[in-house]
Amino acid sequence: MTQVSMTVNGKAASGQVEGRTLLSSFLRDELKLTGTHVGCDTSQCGACVVHVDGIAVKSCTMLAAEADGADVSTIEGQANADGSLNVIQQAFQDHHGLQCGFCTPGMVMSAAALLKDNPKPSEQEVRDYLEGNICRCTGYHNIVKAIMAASGQDVGAIAAE
Amino acid sequence: MYNFDFEKPESVADAIAALQGEEAQALGGGQTLIPTLKQRLASPSTLVSLKGIAEMQGVCMGDDGSVCIGGATNHATVAAEAGAYPALADTAAHIGDPAVRNRGTIGGSLANNDPSACYPAAALGSGATIVTNARQIAADDYFQGMFTTALDEGEIITEVRFPVPEKANYQKFVQPASRFALVGVYVAKYADGVRVAITGASNDGVFRWAEAEAALSANFSASALDGLSLSGDDMISDLHGTGEYRAHLCAVMTKRAVAAA
């Protein structure tokens, strides 16, 4: 067992981990931050996306030990300081960007990473960026719409498919 | 996953020392190795992360005009910073998905030499030089069959040097579930000839299509490939496509790459 320390959602966090402990396991089992979901555990579905030092990664495919010293953000750290939903979360609610909701934490984290680098993406750019986030309800249309709305763009013209 | 010890050295020398241990294995971005460990297809005693080695990070220009990429550089960084070789940057920008590109490394991809990976086609198609802690290996000597390379035990890729061609393009026919190439063709036109490297198709891993190279060196146009074909006999055959189908795709994707270069 080795000691790891990191900043998670702005707070210091540390714990003992095995070499094989995944970042997703550390977040969920050790820190009890169960908002990060593990859907496939094979790095395909993207439900476990978190930000490590500002970039989106699949936390089920990164060792906790690799995040030692890193600044980690999860879905639990996305709300505004007063507890209200942030712009992306609010847009998901407004546009019903979810059905069962299982993939939503990863979708929101991927959307946040996209909008940080590309504040006004085209619809195609949003769809391309979500290539590694799978919604098995196939609710993509409203997810894309929510992200477009969160970027401040008019979504009236996005037709249902 | 079986358990293992984890080490994160900060220099190539320390990494090589750590890899001397019995059953020690290098870890790049882990986007293939961690899923492999989960399936218990590998059971190293120690994983040596190469991510903490500053000298293996980043993209720079070599004195001879080549684009040099540190072995631990992730795909997103290559996509963003290898603008001096646009086809290479574009190839990196379409590997896997965004989160995978933020972790996966060029050294990890080339060391694994998955028969359907993109980087082997880029490296072989560009006649790149694979630089390790011990030596320099020409791409033509480096790839030795599916999941097999010229690397020795404990040898790591510290840098990959790509000579920049006059024109180049990579065309990937995506296998939609895995996002690996069902067939991917990398075409690069250099002053001394054209190179064509194909991934995803052969049971022997990435390979050069000599006949197409000769035709394109004489006349760099898609029509120069009319009538050329590969045999599907020794190609990968699975539920996603027969060998014959992949052989057909090789010719189609080569033409598309030439047209887009």
Tell me if A38 is assigned to some domain.
Answer: yes
Residue B211: which region, alpha, beta or left (left: phi > 0; alpha: psi -120 to 50)?
alpha
Domain ranges of chain B: 5-162, 167-260
Is residue B66 over pLDDT 90?
yes
Question: Do both A61 and A99 map to the same domain?
Answer: no
Q: Say which CATH number the domain at A123 has.
A: 1.10.150.120
- Say whether residue A62 is in contact with chain B using an 8 A CB cutoff: yes
Q: Does domain B167-260 have CATH number 3.30.390.50?
A: yes
pLDDT digits (tens, 9 = 90+) for B224-259: 999 999 999 999 999 999 999 999 999 999 999 999
Question: Do both A56 and A105 map to the same domain?
Answer: no
Q: In which band, very low, low, confident or very high, does the pLDDT at A160 lie, cut at 50, 70 and 90?
A: low
Question: Do both A70 and A91 map to the same domain?
Answer: no
Would you state the structure tokens that stand for residue B32, as one six-digit string?
């293939």
Residue ranges of A 28-57 with Cβ closer than 8 A to chain B: 41-43, 46, 49, 55-57
Any bridge partners for residue A71, and if so which?
A: A7
Question: Do both A45 and A108 map to the same domain?
Answer: no
CB spacing of B6 vs A2 below 8 angstroms? yes
What is the span of the domain harbouring residue A132? 87-150
Mutation site, B3, B53, B100, B179, interface A, largest A CB count within 10 A: B100
Q: In whole angstroms, what is the distance from residue B108 CA to residue B74 CA?
A: 9
Report the number of distinct structural domains present in chain A: 2
Please state which CATH class domain B5-162 belongs to.
Answer: alpha beta
| Nearest of B120, B114, B242, B237 to residue B178 by alpha carbon | B114
Tell me if A70 is assigned to some domain.
Answer: yes
Q: In this complex, which of B5, B34, B179 lies closest to A61 when CB atoms are compared?
A: B34
Mean pLDDT value of segment A33-37: 98
Percent of chain B with pLDDT over 70: 100
Question: Do both A10 and A59 map to the same domain?
Answer: yes
Q: In what order do the strands lie in the sheet containing B24-27? A: B5-7, B46-49, B24-27
| Nearest of A29, A35, A55, A58 to residue A46 by alpha carbon | A58
Mean pLDDT of chain B: 97
Mutation site, A50, A61, A72, interface B, largest B CB count within 10 A: A61
Q: For residue B75, with 0-12 CB atoms within 10 Å meaning exposed, 13-18 middle and 19 or more buried, which class applies?
A: buried
DSSP tally for chain A: helices H, then strands E: 5, 5
The conformation of residue B165, written as its DSSP 8-state character, comes to P
Q: In whole angstroms, what is the distance from residue A128 CA to residue B204 CA?
A: 31
Q: In whole angstroms, what is the distance from residue A22 CA to residue A41 CA?
A: 10
Tell me if A71 is assigned to some domain.
Answer: yes
Question: Do both A97 and A142 map to the same domain?
Answer: yes
Residue partners of B75: CB distance under 8 A and separation at least 6: B92, B93, B95, B96, B100, B101, B102, B104, B105, B106
Residue B156 CA: distances (Å) to CA of A56, A85, B18, B50, B102: 26, 46, 12, 9, 20
Is residue B69 over pLDDT 70?
yes
Q: In this complex, which of A41, A55, A63 lies closest to B6 when CB atoms are compared?
A: A63
Residue B253: which region, alpha, beta or left (left: phi > 0; alpha: psi -120 to 50)?
alpha
pLDDT at A159: 64
pLDDT digits (tens, 9 = 90+) for B122-155: 999 999 999 999 999 999 999 999 999 999 999 9
| Nearest of B65, B154, B157 to residue B105 by alpha carbon | B157
Question: Do both A59 and A94 map to the same domain?
Answer: no
Q: In what order do the strands lie in the sheet containing B207-208? A: B167-174, B181-190, B193-199, B207-208
pLDDT digits (tens, 9 = 90+) for A68-113: 999 999 999 999 999 999 999 999 999 999 999 999 999 999 999 9
DSSP tally for chain B: helices H, then strands E: 10, 12
